[in-house]
Structure 1
Amino acid sequence: MRIVFMGTPEFAVPSLRALLGSGLGDVVGVVTQPDRPVGRKRVLTPPPVKVEAEKHALPVLQLERLRRPEAVEALREWRPDLIVTAAFGQILPKAVLDLPRLGCINVHASLLPKYRGGAPIHYAVMNGDAVTGVTIMYMAEGLDTGDMISKIEVPIGDDDTTGTMFRKLSEAGAQLLLDTLPGLLAGTVTAVPQNEAEAVYAPNITREQERIDWSRSAEEIWNLTRALHPRPGAYTLWNGDVLKIWKAAKPAGAAAPAGAAPGTVLAAGERGIDVATGRGVLTVLEVQPAGKKAMAAAALARSGQLKPGTVLGS
């Protein structure tokens, strides 16, 4: 069996490694996104999947747009029996979907039809879900709309962030891929259509979503900080500058004092910084003032710069 793998970020690397070690077929080529500038110095950096592919001397295509005729023709020359994608970042056009005789399958980091789209892990954490998972599905022309082949559930703990869940789900997805492929090759899998009435979308996170709305509950803001860790980070404004909120404690249910406006610093000490929210109190544990490195909130409190009575958000 000739397999073409498509993926871009670190999430996809375990699935590529699983295919290479499975003995179920030959990975004849890898498709990924172009190198992108990364970091403050904007250093041109290859995607993790390209780095992994080159370790194994695999042919690599870096395609800005898969819909271009020359891209489809390049894939056709590889004569794939199966295309496997994982966090590739582009919707496959019909011309590509029709190429492999066994179809195109995707390793998607959610329990479909919940969280279709580019940020399924972020939304699962942001919404306070207790469990998420991975779905392997046949690909269709829509956004994550294809029939589902297999699933695995993965719990989300209180200490989990989007970063930890990326690692857990990438490994779970790789194992699920190995468990699913033999039945797919034998023609014994039964694909189940998605229930469109239950579809939930998870579009890419916007800058506005990163900004903390202190009128929301402490629980919701805590989930937001976890969802945006390790990047891009939740933020608020302090004296007109960005203050990143990297970590907060799980709210214990304490009520804010009557009359305290959301965003008001109630206390600043060795425990951290207590902030009034629309419902409850959030204890901030790790922050990053503009132009500085991340630090314990207690260190900022000790500096005396952020005093009780300060109102965050402006």
Structure 2
Amino acid sequence: MSAPRHGILNLHPSLLPRHRGASPIPAAIIAGDSETGVCTIVMDAGLDTGALVRVDRIELHGDERAPALEELLADLAADTVEGTLRGWAAGSLTAVPQEGDGVSLAPRLRRSDGRIGAMTSAHAAWAAWRAYQPWPGVYVEIPGVIERLRLDLIDAPLPASDAANGSLSLDDEGRLLLHLPGGALPLRRVTPAGGREMDGVDLVRGRPEIAAAHARIAS
């Protein structure tokens, strides 16, 4: 890395030292960050530990999905990278060491990260669904009914009811709801293991036991 006269610059889609690693965009959504951005750093031997050359920030509103946020940050980087490179080569920009406080890691995603359990809060599940697109996605397990049910499209949480955590039901509007601590998630599109994607209500029509009183997703 010392061979190039001006070093090697790298673009990282988070506000370093927060969310160092392979999955900073999902990590910002999961953490509920109020802002994120793109950092230009001088690469060193560490994991995203290089000195900061430039920091560009954007505000987050709590409803972002990973693919759209990735595109937004890519556009931000594209708009600024030429000026950054010219300034760095001309010596008009200074690299500043990252702060020692506020360090967090965003490791490579695993398929199991998308598993929603009966005690996962509704807002955490909503964040996971927005963060883990297109992979690994989010899913639940319904023991004795469906080995794995992928949640392809869900809406923001509704207020909590007195339904048991982990249960599923149809509401008065015909929506399939997943009841979790702190709220209920409307499941608009789902895919059962080995099946095809379908509306949540169509799943219940074909498998009425899903919304039976005893059915629960796994903890």
Q: Same fold (TM over 0.5)?
A: yes
Letter in 1 for 2:147: D
1:212: which partner in 2? 116
- TM-score scaled by structure 2? 0.89
1:244: which partner in 2? 150
Give 1:148's match in structure 2, choosing from 52, 62, 77.
Answer: 52
Q: Distance in 1 between matches of 2:59 and 2:201?
A: 31
Per the alignment, in what secondary structure is the counterpart of residue 282 of structure 1? strand
Residue 303 (structure 1) aligned with residue 209 (structure 2): no
Q: Distance in 2 between matches of 1:172 and 1:211?
A: 32
More relative contact order in 1 or in 2 (CA 8 Å, sep 6+)? Answer: 2
- TM-score scaled by structure 1? 0.64
Larger mean Cα displacement after TM superposition, 266-275 or 174-183: 266-275
| Gap change, CA 1:141 and 1:129, over 3 Å in 2 | same
Q: Distance in 2 between matches of 1:111 and 1:103?
A: 21
Larger mean Cα displacement after TM superposition, 173-182 or 102-111: 173-182
| Gap change, CA 1:281 and 1:234, over 3 Å in 2 | same
Q: Distance in 1 between matches of 2:173 and 2:148?
A: 23
Conserved in 1, the CA contact under 8 Å of 2:11 and 2:40?
yes
- How many equivalent residue pairs? 215
2:43: which partner in 1? 139
Q: Distance in 1 between matches of 2:93 and 2:78?
A: 18
Q: Distance in 1 between matches of 2:70 and 2:122?
A: 24
Pairwise CA distance, 1:263 = 1.0
Letter in 2 for 1:129: D
Give 2:161's match in structure 1, choosing from 256, 261, 268.
Answer: 256
Conserved in 1, the CA contact under 8 Å of 2:50 and 2:97?
yes
Pairwise CA distance, 1:160 = 2.5
Per the alignment, in what secondary structure is the counterpart of residue 274 of structure 1? strand
RMSD, matched Cα: 2.0
User: Percent sequence identity over matched residues?
Assistant: 32
| Structure 2 spans left out of the alignment, 5+ residues | none
Larger Rg belongs to: 1
Deviations 1:204-261 (A, max 9, x none): 1123321112312111110011111122211111325111112221124x1230xx43
| Gap change, CA 1:295 and 1:151, over 3 Å in 2 | farther
Q: Distance in 1 between matches of 2:86 and 2:156?
A: 43
Conserved in 2, the CA contact under 8 Å of 1:147 and 1:194?
yes
Deviations 1:249-301 (A, max 9, x none): 1124x1230xx432111326755321221222222222111122322223323
1:282: which partner in 2? 185
Pairwise CA distance, 1:120 = 0.3
Q: Distance in 2 between matches of 1:157 and 1:291?
A: 36
Divergent runs of 4+, >4 A: 268-271
Give 2:82's match in structure 1, choosing from 175, 178, 186.
Answer: 178
Per the alignment, in what secondary structure is the counterpart of residue 196 of structure 1? coil
